[in-house]
Structure 1
C-alpha cells in the first residue's frame, strides 16, 4: 500500500491482505476487495472507532443548562432597556425573536429536562403485598386503529375479548409491529383491569372501547393500562414467510373478521409477509414493501380454503372464484357430511355449514381433462426472490384463449431481436417435404419415437392433427435457455402443468382479451382473420368472440394462480410494448417465484 493508506484501520488492512491470498477471480471476491480498499469505508470505520472510544470513557455528555429559552427571554428583556444602533445588535435581536430559533431552544430544554419520558402513576402506598400481581403499562398514543367488531377491538395494536370461562376482559392478540408489540409489555392472555384509571370490571369489549375512545380524546398523549400479566405467554418471534396472494380480500366486506379495523386488504398477486400464524383462522401479515410496521389480520389458508369449498358446494359451476364467507373449523376444514362447520372461537358467530355432500365433481371434455385443475383451491403460495443469472434467462410463456392473439404477440416479440428471442422448433411425426429442412421448420421423427418420448414425459405439450403428432420437447427449451437466449413459448394452457417446474422456472404472462364490445370492434377494424377455421381465411364471428371471452375466463379461473403478469390485448402495438418491458424485467430484476424454485 502507498503512504496515503498508512492510517487505515489495521483490522481491515489485515483482512484485505488475507483476501489477496485467496487467489480467486470471482465477482464476489473482486467486489469485496474493492470495498475494503475504499477510502470512504475506512473513514467510516475511523468515525466508528472514535465513537466507541468516547463511549468507553467514564465522562458523559451533559447539557450545560436546561433553561436556554428562559435565558433568551432575559437577554431580550435586557436589550429592551438599552439603545444600540449597530448592525450586529439588530441582527442578533432579529435572530432571537425568530419563532424557529425559539422552537429549537424549547426542544433543547425539553430534551435536557427529559420531559419526553412518560410519567407513570405512583404505586399506591397502601398496596397489599398479598394482592394479585399487576403491571401498569403506559403507551404513547399513535395512529393505531380504534374501532371494530363486537368480539374484539384494536387497542393501540392489540385486540381484546371476553374470556369464556372467567368473563373478564383479556388481550386476545397483539398485532406485530403495533405500539403494544413494540413496547414488549403487553401479551396475549393479559387481563385488563383498568384503562386510564377506569375499571373495566363487568364490562363488554364494546364498553371498554367506549372508555378507550373517551380516554383517548381527553388524555394528554398517553394511554395507561393496568393489567394482570399472563405468565409464560411472551411474544412470539416474527416469521419470515412470504406468500403471493391468489385472491382479492377486503376486510370491510368480511362480516366474520374479529376486527375490521385490524384487517389487511390486498389484491391478487400482492406479496404478503406472514409475521404470525399462531391463530388457526386469522394470520397476521404486512404487504411487502409497505412502510407501515403494524401487521393486519388476513384469513388463514385453512379458513379461506373452507370458504371456497363452501361456495363450490352451493354453486359448483361458479367460475369467478369468489369465496363464500363461511368459516369451517380448523380440524375439519372440508365440511364433511357428518361434521358441520363450527364457528371460529373467540369471534362473532359464523355462518354454520349444514350437512352437505363433498365437493361435486364437474365432468369436462375428456380431451381437455381439467378435472384435477378444477378441484385446485389456490389461496396463498409461498414465494422467495429469484435473482437473474447471467446467461440463464427464464423462458417467457404466453398463455391465453385461442384467438386472443398470443401467437401474434410471440411472433412480434421474436421479430424485435431474432438473435435474442427464440422459439423452439416443434417436433412432428409427419413425413418431411422436399422443400423442408430438418431442424428448421420442424424436427422430423418417427411416430414410434415420438410416442415413446411422450410416454416418458419429454414433451411439454403435444397433439395430433390429421393423423400426425406435433409437440414441443422440454429439451429444446432447455437448449435455448442454456445458450443464453430468451426462449419464448405460446403453448396450450394445459401445458403449464409441465412447464411450471423448478427445472424450467418460466415467467408466465396471461394474454387477456378486452371486453366483448371492444374485442369485436378492434378485430373488425384490423381486418383480423379467424383462427378457428384452418381451411379458409375469414373474419371472426360474434359467437367466436364470445367463445374467446368464455375460454379466457375459464383459463384464468383454472390456472390464474400460475400467472406472473397479464396483458390485455386490446391493441397489438400497446400490448407488445408491455411485453417488451416484462421481458426486460425477467432479464434484469429479482422477481418473486415459488419458494421451492430457489431452494
Structure 2
C-alpha cells in the first residue's frame, strides 16, 4: 500500500511541474512578442565577451545604466524680492521631497533678524571677510543689495550636487543674471507678489525694517520685477504668490518639468 505522504508529495510535484511548464510558456510567449529583448541580451553578451570583466555584476550595472537617462541635478533658483515668500515655498518643497533637495546657505554681511542663526539661514560675516572671499573667487555669484552683500559659495553648490541632491538657491535678480552669464546650467523661477502694496503689507508684518529700509526694499522690488520681465531668457518662468497653496501648485508644475524623475 502506498504511503499517503508519498502520494501527497507526488501530487505536489505534479502541480509544481505543471506550473513550471505554464511559466515557461508565458516567458516564451513574452520573448516572442518582444524580439528586441533577444537583441538586447545578444548585444550585452557580445560586450561581455569582448571585455571579459572579472566583476560581471558591476560591468552589467554600468552597461545598462548607459541606456537610462541620468536624472537632472541642475540647481534650482527661486528669485524674487525680499518678503515675497521664497523661503516658505522652499520649505514646502523640501518637506514634500525629503532628501532630494538641499538648501545652499548664502553668506551675507547684514545682521541676523529675529531668531536667525549663523549657518542656518545665512552665514553672517563681515564686509571685510566678504570682500576677501570675492577676491579669492569663492562665490558662484554675489551682489550688493540693500547696502549689504550676499553671495553663494561655489564649494557649497558643488558639494550638494556631488552627494546626488538638487541644490536650491534663494537669490536676487543680480545673482541670477551673474550665474546665467557664467553659462552655468540652472533652473530659474521668479516669484512675484500680486502687487507692490501686498509686498509692503508683508514686509511691514515682519516688523524687522524701519520706514527708510522699507522704502529701499520696495523701490528695489519694483526694479527687480521690471528687470526680470524685460529679460525673458534669464527669467523664463514666473509664479505669483498671492495664495500660497496655488503658488506652490504652480511651482510643482515647473518642478516636474525640470526634474521629470520626481513624478515617480
TM-score scaled to structure 2, two decimals?
0.59
**How many angstroms does 1:437 deviate by?**
7.2
Which structure has greater helix proportion? 2
1:505 aligns with 2:177: no
1:9-48 alpha-carbon deviations (Å, 9 max, x no partner): 9x9586554233144224544788xxxxxxxxxxxxxxxx
Instruction: Report if aligned partners of 1:509, 1:566 keep a CA contact under 8 Å in 2.
Output: yes
**How many angstroms does 1:443 deviate by?**
3.7
Instruction: Say which of 465, 476, 482 aligns to 2:156.
Output: 476
The aligned runs of 1:421-440 (5 Å cut-off) are: 421-428=101-108, 439-440=119-120
Instruction: Say which of 46, 62, 82 aligns to 1:18.
Output: 46
1:176-229 alpha-carbon deviations (Å, 9 max, x no partner): xxxxxxxxxxxxxxxxxxxxxxxxxxxxxxxxxxxxxxxxxxxxxxxxxxxxxx
**How many angstroms does 1:403 deviate by?**
4.5
Instruction: Say which of 551, 556, 559 aligns to 2:229.
Output: 556
Secondary structure in 1 matching 2:251 = helix
Aligned partner of 2:250 in structure 1 is 578
Secondary structure in 1 matching 2:209 = coil
Instruction: Report if aligned partners of 1:388, 1:586 keep a CA contact under 8 Å in 2.
Output: no
Q: Which runs of 5+ in 2 are unaligned?
A: 1-23, 54-58
Q: Distance in 1 between matches of 2:116 and 2:235?
A: 36
Instruction: Report if aligned partners of 2:189, 2:238 keep a CA contact under 8 Å in 1.
Output: yes
1:441-474 alpha-carbon deviations (Å, 9 max, x no partner): 54466654432221243221243778x7543212
Aligned partner of 2:142 in structure 1 is 461
**CA gap 1:15/1:426 in 2 versus in 1, 3 angstroms:** closer
1:530 aligns with 2:204: yes
Instruction: Report if aligned partners of 1:401, 1:548 keep a CA contact under 8 Å in 2.
Output: yes
Aligned partner of 2:240 in structure 1 is 568
1:225-261 alpha-carbon deviations (Å, 9 max, x no partner): xxxxxxxxxxxxxxxxxxxxxxxxxxxxxxxxxxxxx
1:491 aligns with 2:171: yes
Aligned partner of 2:11 in structure 1 is none
The aligned runs of 1:383-398 (5 Å cut-off) are: 389-390=70-71, 393-398=73-78
Give the count of matched residue pairs. Answer: 216
Q: Distance in 2 between matches of 1:400 and 1:582?
A: 16
Q: Distance in 1 between matches of 2:144 and 2:219?
A: 25
Q: Distance in 1 between matches of 2:61 and 2:103?
A: 33
The aligned runs of 1:63-102 (5 Å cut-off) are: none
TM-score scaled to structure 1, two decimals?
0.30
**How many angstroms does 1:523 deviate by?**
6.7
Greater Rg by CA: 1
The aligned runs of 1:342-381 (5 Å cut-off) are: none
Q: Which runs of 5+ in 1 are unaligned?
A: 33-386, 590-599
The aligned runs of 1:35-50 (5 Å cut-off) are: none
**How many angstroms does 1:536 deviate by?**
4.9
Secondary structure in 2 matching 1:528 = helix
**How many angstroms does 1:506 deviate by?**
0.8
Instruction: Report if aligned partners of 2:108, 2:122 keep a CA contact under 8 Å in 1.
Output: yes
Secondary structure in 1 matching 2:204 = coil
Secondary structure in 1 matching 2:104 = coil
**How many angstroms does 1:534 deviate by?**
3.6
Secondary structure in 1 matching 2:60 = coil
1:31-71 alpha-carbon deviations (Å, 9 max, x no partner): 88xxxxxxxxxxxxxxxxxxxxxxxxxxxxxxxxxxxxxxx
